[in-house]
């Protein structure tokens, strides 16, 4: 059985971060988002994985540099280029040769590169392998699933799927993980672009239902599922992952520094006297947390950051940044190589979404 991870797309809701970096490489708890679905598939026993990448050479190189040939994850990776973001069904279509070649059971799983499901999918994969079905979808009961694909079910059967419905159909959102056999390609071939000018995976699955193929579902019992498509979603996913952090210290905590709660500190990092770190927090390599500084809770600091005279809470610093602003930064997403300083001695609370190589004086 093979896996396909979709990591194309422009990530427009995450600009300006995604002007210069791929959405799927934004770190959550200092781990690129894309690594979580890779881990999920590996844990489910799927080690031959294709990754859909966009057509921009810089973005393709960025993902290839991060993932490599997959050996560091214990998998084999193939890269499949999509000429433009034309929808999930189109991505599956362009991956057909990879998915069907050397795949005796002709079954595969599609995992969106920005979806994270706590607890993984191993049990669902096993059920799919052992059943004679054409498709399995995962659903999550949500109070308002309107920004996702939504499923209507009746008497244990999937009746209807609608992408981002304008009127309420049900509370069952489609988790961005799908299992198919080869029959889905016939359904995709019949699709026309939707009102979004995309080939929708929901319409491809609806085609299977209409053709009386066997489409089954599982309502996931995981405590959480995230599809972090905007800054708020990224920060919430970061908080949820940090809640699972196992504390560690590979750096130096000077006498007089306060570190409490679940905190991870990488090698080369120094927590200076007069600073405070309140977990859950993870701090990357070669960072300095200086005097008069408080980090956390729910904050991820990437490598090579210097933070002094500041408070940072519920935020992500991707790395290589310098913060010395005598202010409190909350609910913020900062790209690489950001400098924030202050000419204002009056303490206030600030919220930022800042692209890389930016300088801000507040």
179 Cβ contact partners less than 8 Å away, ≥ 6 residues apart:
107, 108, 109, 110, 124, 125, 128, 135, 136, 137
Predicted confidence at residue 327, as pLDDT, reads 84
Residue 133: is its pLDDT beyond 60?
Answer: yes
Rounded mean pLDDT of 256-267?
Answer: 96
Pick from 96-105, 155-164, 223-232, 304-313: least confident: 223-232
Q: Which residue has the higher pLDDT, 257 or 359?
A: 257
Percent of the chain with pLDDT over 70: 91
Read off the pLDDT of residues 291-311 as tens digits, 9 standing for 90 and up: 999 999 999 999 999 999 999
Alpha carbon of residue 253 to chain centroid: 31
What is the model's pLDDT at position 190? 92
CB atoms within 10 A of CB 41: 26
Segment 223-245 mean pLDDT:
86
pTM of the entire predicted model: 0.90
| CA distances to 23, 276, 285 from 211, in Å | 36, 61, 54
Of residues 228 and 341, the one with the higher pLDDT is: 341
Backbone angles phi, psi at 250, to 5 degrees: -110, 0
149-208 pLDDT per residue, tens:
888 888 888 888 888 878 788 889 899 899 999 999 999 999 888 777 788 898 999 999
Q: CA–CA separation, 186 vs 156, rounded Å?
A: 25
Asked if the model's pLDDT at residue 229 lies above 90, the reply is no
Residue 91, φ and ψ in degrees, nearest 5: -60, -40
More confident residue, 155 or 228: 155
Average pLDDT value for residue range 91-115:
92
Structure tokens at 164: 């981002």
Contact 2, 50 (CB under 8 A): yes
Domains assigned to the chain = 2-238 (3.90.550.10), 248-361 (2.160.10.10)
């Amino acid at each position: 059985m093979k896996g396909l991870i979709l990591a194309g797309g422009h990530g427009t809701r995450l600009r300006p971060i995604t002007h210069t970096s791929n959405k799927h490489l934004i770190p959550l708890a200092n781990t690129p988002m894309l690594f979580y679905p890779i881990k999920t598939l590996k844990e489910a026993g799927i080690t031959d994985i294709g990754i859909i990448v966009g057509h921009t050479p810089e973005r393709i190189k960025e993902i290839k540099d991060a993932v490599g040939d997959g050996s560091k994850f214990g998998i084999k990776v193939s890269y499949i280029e999509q000429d433009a973001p034309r929808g999930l069904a189109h991505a599956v279509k362009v991956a057909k040769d990879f998915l069907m070649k050397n795949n005796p059971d002709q079954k595969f799983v599609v995992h969106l590169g920005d979806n994270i499901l706590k607890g993984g999918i191993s049990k669902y994969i096993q059920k799919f392998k052992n059943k004679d079905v054409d498709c399995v979808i995962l659903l999550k009961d949500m109070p308002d699933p309107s920004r996702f694909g939504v499923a209507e079910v009746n008497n244990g059967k999937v009746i209807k799927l609608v992408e981002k419905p304008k009127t309420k159909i049900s509370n069952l959102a489609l988790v961005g993980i799908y299992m198919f056999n080869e029959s889905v390609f016939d359904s995709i071939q019949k699709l026309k672009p939707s009102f979004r000018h995309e080939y929708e995976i929901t319409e491809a699955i609806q085609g299977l239902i209409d053709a009386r193929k066997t489409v089954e579902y599982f309502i996931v019992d995981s405590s959480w599922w995230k599809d972090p498509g905007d800054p708020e979603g990224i920060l919430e996913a970061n908080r949820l992952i940090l809640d699972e952090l196992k504390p560690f210290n590979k750096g130096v905590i000077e006498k007089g520094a306060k570190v409490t709660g679940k905190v991870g500190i990488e090698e080369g990092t120094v927590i200076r006297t007069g600073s405070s770190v309140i977990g859950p927090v993870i701090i990357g390599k070669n960072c300095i947390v200086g005097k008069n500084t408080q980090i956390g809770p729910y904050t991820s600091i990437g490598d090579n950051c210097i933070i002094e005279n500041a408070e940072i809470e519920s935020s992500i610093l991707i790395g290589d940044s310098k913060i010395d602003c005598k202010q409190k930064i909350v609910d913020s997403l900062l790209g690489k190589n950001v400098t924030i300083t202050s000419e204002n001695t009056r303490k206030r609370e600030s919220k930022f979404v800042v692209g890389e190589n930016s300088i801000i004086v507040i």
